């Protein structure tokens, strides 16, 4: 909104700063952070009053988690409010990538909200049927994929190799939807400990802020040998909004958490990362940068598959962060070590920009 106003004023005087994506990225981060910190305390109190017993805690999970009974969930609404407001305030609303990614973020957030609401009202950790949830997610991702692919080509670019791509043709629409849904659910599975999903999402968002900015610049993309996507640089501002909203939420989610993100936040943030990766043509790099999320999702898939085949478990408990808890690692130890893994993976992802 401010960008359009500044443009109407011909970017004169101080409004000239708004012309630059780097300035608006920093301003968006600070806006989302301040909004989140301001609304946080009252929002958490409202959730605590309305939910009563808070998020249901699995009795078959780590026994230390039983101390978290009564902690409210749906804290992802705080993230969505601060993120959406700051996006609308600072981004160029004529950019189709903005609306595609916003559709995924809000759409997945709504699906997560319905799941959280079902869990709280029924006092059960099961929530909405997995098949129904996936159907809704693919519907949202399908619309977003159509909007994104209408602005880009249908090639899958391979990292570490310059100007090497795989033409997927019409199949790219399906591939894009799978990336978005997969990212949303991978982050959702990671969100099992205080602060575990939030910081890796912030790290991944910071990484993709750099990638989106470079991809949107014809000079930098030509120098680095990465695909150039006109307009994708605007997504760096969305990444900054995620970082600001995530930092504000982490202030209240730090152990012991005053509020849980819930599916409302984890699905929305994961879906947003997936949409940004598709729009910037760095889908494979997302699997590297978000390797922690991939590891969490794979641990669940492998556990379920092996248990159905043999009746035995490979991990003591899935997702894998619970496996380490069952081995005796303290929750804070698991969280901090997984943060370190995320930082290393982010650096590896950034290395793909130059190592070609």
Annotated binding residues, as ranges?
Answer: 188, 263
Identify the sign of the CA torsion 210, 186, 107, 50: negative
Contact in structure between 183 and 274 (CB atoms under 8 Å) = yes
Residue 23 CB neighbours (<10 A) = 14
Complete DSSP assignment for 225-249: T----TTGGGHHHHHHHHHHHHHHH
Under 8 Å between Cβ of 183 and 293: yes
Binding-site residue ranges for Mg(2+): 188, 263
Within 8 A by CB and 6+ apart from 303, the residues are 313, 314, 315, 318
What is the separation of C-alpha 184 from the centre of its chain, rounded to a whole number of angstroms?
7
Residue 265 tokens read as 């936040």
Rounded alpha-carbon distances, angstroms, from residue 87 to 102, 252, 267: 9, 22, 18
Q: In terms of DSSP H, where are the helices of the chain?
A: 2-8, 21-51, 76-90, 96-122, 130-149, 171-190, 198-216, 218-224, 235-253, 262-279, 283-289, 291-310, 320-326, 331-351
Considering only CA atoms, which of 285, 248, 314 is closest in space to residue 76? Answer: 248
Side-chain half-sphere of 285: how many Cα atoms within 13 Å? 34
């Amino acid at each position: 909104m401010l960008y359009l106003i500044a443009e109407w004023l011909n970017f004169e005087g101080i409004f000239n700063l708004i012309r630059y994506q780097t300035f608006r990225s920093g301003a968006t981060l600070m806006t989302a952070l301040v909004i989140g910190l301001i609304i946080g305390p009252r929002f958490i109190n409202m959730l605590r009053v309305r939910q009563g017993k808070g998020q249901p805690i699995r009795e078959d999970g780590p026994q230390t988690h039983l101390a978290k009974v009564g902690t409210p969930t749906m804290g992802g609404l705080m993230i969505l409010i601060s993120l959406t407001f700051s996006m609308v305030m600072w981004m160029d609303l004529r950019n189709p990538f903005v609306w595609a990614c916003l559709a995924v973020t809000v759409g997945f957030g709504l699906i997560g909200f319905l799941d959280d609401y079902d869990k709280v009202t029924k006092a059960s950790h099961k929530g909405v049927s997995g098949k129904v949830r996936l159907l809704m997610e693919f519907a949202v991702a399908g619309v977003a994929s159509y909007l994104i692919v209408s602005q880009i080509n249908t090639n899958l670019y391979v990292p570490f190799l310059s100007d090497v791509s795989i033409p997927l043709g019409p199949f790219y629409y399906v591939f894009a939807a799978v990336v978005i849904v997969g990212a949303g659910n991978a982050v959702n599975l990671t969100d099992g400990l205080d602060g575990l999903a939030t910081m890796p999402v912030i790290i991944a968002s910071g990484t993709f802020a750099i990638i989106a900015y470079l991809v949107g610049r014809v000079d930098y993309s030509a120098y680095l040998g990465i695909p150039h996507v006109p307009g994708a640089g605007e997504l760096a501002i969305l990444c900054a909004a995620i970082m600001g909203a995530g930092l504000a939420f982490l202030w209240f989610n730090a152990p012991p958490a005053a509020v849980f993100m819930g599916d409302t936040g984890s699905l929305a943030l994961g879906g947003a990362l997936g949409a940004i990766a598709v729009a910037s043509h760095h889908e494979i790099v997302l699997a590297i940068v978000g390797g922690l999320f991939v590891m969490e999702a794979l641990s669940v898939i492998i556990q379920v598959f092996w248990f159905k085949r043999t009746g035995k478990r490979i991990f003591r408990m899935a997702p894998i962060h619970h496996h380490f808890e069952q081995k005796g690692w303290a929750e804070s130890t698991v969280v901090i070590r997984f943060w370190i893994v995320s930082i290393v993976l982010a650096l590896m992802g950034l290395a793909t920009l130059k190592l070609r």
